[in-house]
């Protein structure tokens, strides 16, 4: 029978803002949501001026939880105040970054929290229509959201004259159909308009020219889910939960060779070493750590020596990586980094939309090169060739997918060059015989 395992194993080190209602029976139902401060944030927001709402979110230092980490309030403030055009709120629920499964639990266990956040965002920019773009594979979650949206309409939290405020807002879900690139905001907009998900040139940015050419804010599920809490408790409170300029908590998905894989809500700036050892229970099977992907496969990998870093946007950027989507993937001592690089590249080659030559040709080339290399057909010049190709993708594409393919590859080629050299020296993969498989 189908199983939806609750990935919340829990840890005493968690700070539960977004996940505070998880585990309450029927928390996804409006009746229960209302018993736990549900829609109080919206009530408060509707009594403020829209600009005050934006100001509070800016003050909170809430940064985009999809991966880019841009200050959400600032993004909202780019929407023109004087315009004849309709305005839109789009929730990016296309979660597809390898290692990431946190939006899934937010939608499953607290859909009204997300809906409330979207409505508040709509009020802030005076938009009257929202769309939740949800990846095609998350069909059961679309159904959860559809039911919650129906409940919200019945309760007067959506539709005309919400809570007697005079503010109207309509919301609907929209299904994707299998495309990582549609998580990129402009490709998402093209997909939402009914086209193939190719990206658009920026500027103009969606806040000015977005859905149907109209001002649009696009925010990640987790980003929007934080908004009701910021309204309730204030931006200053939220900012203080994290580190300077990196406000709040975030959901981290620990996966890979970790003893307790699961989703954990921790304050921004939580030390990675503690996260692995104390929250995740350490590397599985008592093995040694080799590498960490800190925020989804698009991030440069960290070696075992680099885990003394606070997990926030700025600290990871300072050491040449990214907080990204919070998908923390643990790789143990028996992992072949050449194989890891190949599999990561295989993903980007598959998902490349094909628009830009460096990405389309470069990812295919690197996938073939890494596949041949791991399969014992490597040439001595392959590492330098791969670095060269990667640098010719990096920064040379219309959207960040090219960068997302190049950055982890460059980090593995540089930090684990010795593994590539060992493959050449041995004429075989030194890790192949180890059973790194089904536990």
Partner 1 sequence: MLSEALKKKFDTVIARYPVKRSAIVPLLMFAQDEQGHVSDEAIEEIARRVGVRPIEVVEDIGYYSMLHRRPIGKYHFQICTNISCMLRGGEEIFEHCAKKLGIGHQQTTPDGLFSLEEVECLGACCGAPAMQVNYDYYENLTPERIDALIEELRKDPGSRIKA
- Tell which one of 225, 249, 255, 411 touches partner 1 (CB under 8 A): 255
CA neighbor of 409 nearest in space, from 353, 355, 359: 359
Three-state DSSP class for 346? helix
Q: Cite the beta strand spans of 268-408 per DSSP E.
A: 270-271, 289-293, 302-303, 310-311, 327-332
- Tell which one of 137, 278, 361, 422 touches partner 1 (CB under 8 A): 137
Binding mask 350-369 for partner 1 (x = CB under 8 A): xx-x----------------
**Ramachandran angles phi, psi of 215, nearest 5°:** -60, 130
Q: How far is the CB of 101 from partner 1 (least distance, A)?
A: 4
Task: Determine, following the binding rule CB under 8 A, whether residue 87 of this chain makes contact with partner 1.
Answer: no
Task: Determine, following the binding rule CB under 8 A, whether residue 176 of this chain makes contact with partner 1.
Answer: yes
Task: Determine, following the binding rule CB under 8 A, whether residue 193 of this chain makes contact with partner 1.
Answer: yes
Structure-block tokens of residue 79: 């929407």
User: Which element (helix H / strand E) includes 31?
Assistant: helix 30-35
Task: Determine, following the binding rule CB under 8 A, whether residue 206 of this chain makes contact with partner 1.
Answer: no
Judged on CB neighbours under 10 Å (0-12, 13-18, 19+), 424 is middle
- Binding region for partner 1 (CB under 8 A) out of 62-70, 71-79, 100-108, 413-421: 100-108
DSSP string, 99-135: T--HHHHHHHH-HHHHHHHHHHHHHHHT--EEEEEE-
Task: Determine, following the binding rule CB under 8 A, whether residue 437 of this chain makes contact with partner 1.
Answer: yes
Structure-block tokens of residue 366: 């690197």
**Closer CB to partner 1, residue 11 or residue 392?**
11
Distance of CA 390 to the CA centre of its chain: 23
Binding mask 110-129 for partner 1 (x = CB under 8 A): --------------------
- Binding region for partner 1 (CB under 8 A) out of 40-48, 247-255, 377-385, 390-398: 247-255
Three-state DSSP class for 218? strand
- Tell which one of 210, 228, 261, 300 touches partner 1 (CB under 8 A): 261
Task: Determine, following the binding rule CB under 8 A, whether residue 138 of this chain makes contact with partner 1.
Answer: yes
Q: How far is the CB of 121 from partner 1 (least distance, A)?
A: 19
Q: Alpha-carbon torsion 50, 54, 59, 60, what sign? A: positive
User: Which element (helix H / strand E) includes 345?
Assistant: helix 337-351
Task: Determine, following the binding rule CB under 8 A, whether residue 436 of this chain makes contact with partner 1.
Answer: yes
Q: How far is the CB of 41 from partner 1 (least distance, A)?
A: 26
- Tell which one of 24, 32, 86, 368 touches partner 1 (CB under 8 A): 86
- Report how far residue 230's alpha carbon sits from residue 239's, in angstroms, rounded to the nearest whole number: 9
What are the distances in angstroms from CA 380 to CA 28, 95, 219, 373, 408? Answer: 56, 38, 45, 10, 21
Q: How far is the CB of 278 from partner 1 (least distance, A)?
A: 17
Task: Determine, following the binding rule CB under 8 A, whether residue 160 of this chain makes contact with partner 1.
Answer: no
- Tell which one of 50, 155, 262, 358 touches partner 1 (CB under 8 A): 262
| Contacting residues toward partner 1, per CB under 8 A | 1-5, 7, 86, 95-101, 103-104, 135-140, 143, 172, 174-180, 191-197, 212, 253-257, 261-263, 293, 297, 327, 329-331, 335, 340, 343-344, 347, 350-351, 353, 436-439
């Amino acid at each position: 029978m189908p199983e939806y395992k609750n990935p919340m194993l829990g840890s005493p080190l968690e700070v539960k803002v977004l996940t505070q209602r998880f585990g309450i029976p029927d928390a996804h139902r409006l009746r229960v949501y209302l018993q736990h401060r549900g829609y109080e944030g919206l009530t408060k927001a509707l009594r403020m001026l829209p600009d005050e709402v934006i100001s509070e979110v800016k003050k909170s230092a809430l940064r985009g939880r999809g991966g880019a980490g841009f200050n959400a309030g600032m993004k909202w403030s780019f929407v023109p105040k004087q315009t004849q055009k309709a305005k839109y709120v789009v929730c990016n629920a296309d979660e597809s970054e390898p290692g990431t499964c946190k939006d899934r639990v937010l939608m499953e266990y607290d859909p009204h929290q997300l809906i409330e956040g979207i409505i508040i965002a709509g009020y802030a920019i005076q938009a009257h229509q929202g769309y939740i773009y949800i990846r095609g594979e998350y069909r059961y979650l679309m159904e959860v959201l559809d039911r919650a949206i129906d409940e919200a309409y019945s309760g007067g939290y959506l539709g005309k004259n919400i809570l007697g405020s005079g503010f109207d807002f309509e919301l609907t879900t929209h299904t994707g159909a299998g495309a990582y690139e549609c998580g990129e905001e402009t490709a998402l907009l093209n997909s939402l308009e009914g086209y193939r998900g190719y990206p658009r040139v920026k500027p103009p940015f969606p806040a000015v020219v977005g859905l149907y050419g109209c001002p649009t804010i696009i925010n990640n599920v987790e980003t929007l889910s934080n908004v009701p809490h910021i309204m309730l408790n204030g931006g200053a409170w939220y900012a203080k939960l994290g580190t300077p300029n990196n406000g709040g908590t975030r959901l981290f998905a620990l996966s890979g060779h970790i003893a307790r894989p699961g989703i954990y809500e921790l304050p921004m700036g939580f030390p990675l070493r503690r996260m692995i050892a104390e929250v995740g229970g350490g590397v599985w099977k008592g093995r040694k750590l080799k590498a960490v992907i800190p925020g989804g496969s698009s991030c440069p990998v960290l070696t075992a020596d680099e885990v003394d870093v606070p997990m926030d946007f700025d600290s990871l950027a300072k050491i040449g990586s990214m907080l990204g989507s919070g998908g923390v993937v643990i790789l143990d001592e028996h992992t072949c980094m050449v194989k890891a690089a190949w599999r990561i590249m295989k993903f980007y080659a598959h998902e490349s939309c094909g628009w830009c030559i460096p990405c389309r040709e470069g990812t295919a080339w690197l996938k073939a090169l890494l596949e041949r290399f791991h399969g014992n057909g490597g040439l001595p010049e392959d590492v330098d060739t791969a670095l060269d190709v990667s640098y010719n993708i990096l920064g040379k594409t219309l959207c960040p997918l090219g960068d997302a393919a190049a950055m982890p590859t460059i980090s593995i080629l540089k930090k684990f060059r010795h593994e590539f050299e060992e493959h050449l020296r041995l004429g075989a993969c030194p890790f192949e015989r180890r059973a790194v498989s089904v536990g």
